[in-house]
Structure 1
Amino acid sequence: MKLILYFILIPALLPVFLILRYVYLLDRNEREPLGFVLKVVLFGAIFSIPCAGAERFLIAFISEYYDPATIEFAWMENTVGVALVEEFSKWLVLMLIVWKNKNFDFRYDGIVYAVSASLGFAALENILYIISYGTGVSIGRAIFAIPGHATFGVFMGYWLSRAKNFWLHGKLNRMRFCKLFSLCIPMLIHGAYDFLLSEQVSQLGYQSIFYIYVILLDFFAWRVIKHEFRTDRRL
């Protein structure tokens, strides 16, 4: 049992814990209840379970209209077939569990909860990857995949807080607009991330673009986090 813990759970969950701890401890105005944050993490993992089946269905559907060897197929596969499904599962957690919760009452809270849902998704995904491919994949996933999911969550939480603020002030059209952005922007960012890793892009010799993209994405996400906790205020 200890060996299983060491070889699977520790490399799978340690980067999740470190990122979540960093984001959580920045919340200095009115820190979120830890139990509720962990509940969001848990539901992020649970809601990820149906994603594989939904992804297979959508990718099969997309392949009816696009040649799998083309760059167009790669874009549709990674944005609609993968990113939309995965980001929607996280967004659904926030809509069902967080949106109307009394603890979601400060602007920075949106980032805390969206990153929590994203890291719950990433945690289960990471465990399954390590079980399937061994601990050799843990370093690469700790550097890229898990921070990637957290980054998508930053942008989701940013727009979700705006939506909640507009909702509380009765500006429903602006609320709907921001809610849509809270789903679509992470989907497009995530889709581009996976697209740049696709075999079709690799065959064109543009792999280096992926690393530039990740550096820029992480930089902007870090700037958003800093801005949100420094200017945090009650919704």
Structure 2
Amino acid sequence: MLIIITAALAPSIALLCFFYLKDEFENEPLTTVARCFIFGCLLVFPVMFIQFAFDEEGLFHSAAATAFIQIAVIEEFFKWFVVFFAVYHHVHFNERYDGIVYASAVALGFATVENIFYLISSGVEYAFLRALLPVSSHALFGVVMGYYLGKAKFNKIRKKRFIFFSFLFPASFHGIYNYILLTQNYWTYSVIPFMIFLWVYALRKVKHANRMQAKDYTHNKAG
């Protein structure tokens, strides 16, 4: 069991450290980041209950509905809900990049517990593949979510639009990812290019958040 927990936890911690250290200005308090990670871990249980209930009722009969609604919308909404109501208004959410750190922490907490359950049922030999795909994808969805929440925090004019984007884009990307896995027999030919796209897209958001934060610092000093 210890091997499974370690195999499930290691990629999440590595990815969280990666995005945490990408902050070029002020690193967030580790206690707050850890709290977000734990919140993400706990989210797995209500999400699993709701998804199980949908399975029992047989509400979704198509791959598209399953991928986009039963999986993507439900999971990303719960993650978004936690980030928005637990840390968006927090005193430590004081930079554009902060949303990326906190949202990726919640996402990776969720991915870790989900990964533990999968490895228990299927075997630790899947740990490497899980790290490359589901765990990484959850992290990237979190980065996108946090990027737009950071924009919303510091843009009063387009605040509502960016808050909507902070849910819409991660849920859409998550739905596409799951739809590929559910419908393609040779899904590696589609999911690998999609993962490359996600990494490029997310890293651009990381770079842009830091660039905009630099402009904010320059503006504040000038003011």
What TM-score, normalized to structure 2?
0.90
Does the Cα contact within 8 Å between 1:58 and 1:80 map onto a contact in 2? no
CA distance in 1, matches of 2:119, 2:11: 13
Match of 1:23 among 4, 14, 19: 19
- Alpha-carbon deviation of 1:28? 3.0
- Alpha-carbon deviation of 1:61? 5.0
Q: Which residue of 1 aligns with 2:221?
A: none
Q: Which residue of 1 aligns with 2:179?
A: 195
CA distance in 1, matches of 2:63, 2:199: 23
CA distance in 2, matches of 1:88, 1:61: 21
Deviation by residue 1:104-146 (Cα, 9 ceiling, x = unmatched): 0100111111111100101111111111111011111011111
- Alpha-carbon deviation of 1:187? 0.3
Instruction: Please list every run of 5 or more consecutive structure 2 residues that lacks an aligned counterpart in the other structure.
Output: 218-223
CA distance in 2, matches of 1:142, 1:209: 18
RMSD between aligned alpha carbons? 1.8
Structure 2 residue 110 is matched with structure 1 residue 121: yes
What TM-score, normalized to structure 1?
0.85
Moved over 4 A (4+): none
Structure 2 residue 34 is matched with structure 1 residue 38: yes
Q: Which residue of 2 aligns with 1:109?
A: 98
CA distance in 1, matches of 2:202, 2:24: 19
Deviation by residue 1:150-187 (Cα, 9 ceiling, x = unmatched): 01011101111111113xx4x3xx22221111011100
- Alpha-carbon deviation of 1:207? 4.9
Match of 2:8 among 3, 7, 12: 12
Between 1:35-44 and 1:91-100, the stretch displaced more is 91-100
**Between Structure 1 and Structure 2, how many residues are aligned?**
215
For residue 184 of structure 2, what is the amino acid of its counterpart?
A: V
For residue 38 of structure 2, what is the amino acid of its counterpart?
A: L
Does the Cα contact within 8 Å between 1:48 and 1:89 map onto a contact in 2? no
Between 1:142-151 and 1:209-218, the stretch displaced more is 209-218
Match of 2:71 among 54, 68, 82: 82
CA distance in 1, matches of 2:188, 2:17: 32
For residue 225 of structure 1, what is the amino acid of its counterpart?
A: V
What pairs with 1:56-95 in structure 2 (closer than 5 Å)? 56-59=52-55, 60=57, 62-63=59-60, 68=61, 73-95=62-84
Does the Cα contact within 8 Å between 1:91 and 1:183 map onto a contact in 2? yes
- Alpha-carbon deviation of 1:62? 3.4
Deviation by residue 1:17-65 (Cα, 9 ceiling, x = unmatched): 11111111122311100011000000011122111121233454533xx
Deviation by residue 1:58-79 (Cα, 9 ceiling, x = unmatched): 454533xxxx4xxxx1111110
Between 1:22-31 and 1:78-87, the stretch displaced more is 22-31
CA distance in 2, matches of 1:232, 1:75: 38
Structure 2 residue 192 is matched with structure 1 residue 211: yes
CA distance in 1, matches of 2:100, 2:114: 21
Does the Cα contact within 8 Å between 2:41 and 2:113 map onto a contact in 1? yes
CA distance in 2, matches of 1:58, 1:188: 20
Structure 2 residue 138 is matched with structure 1 residue 155: no
Q: Which residue of 2 aligns with 1:176?
A: 160
CA distance in 2, matches of 1:61, 1:30: 48
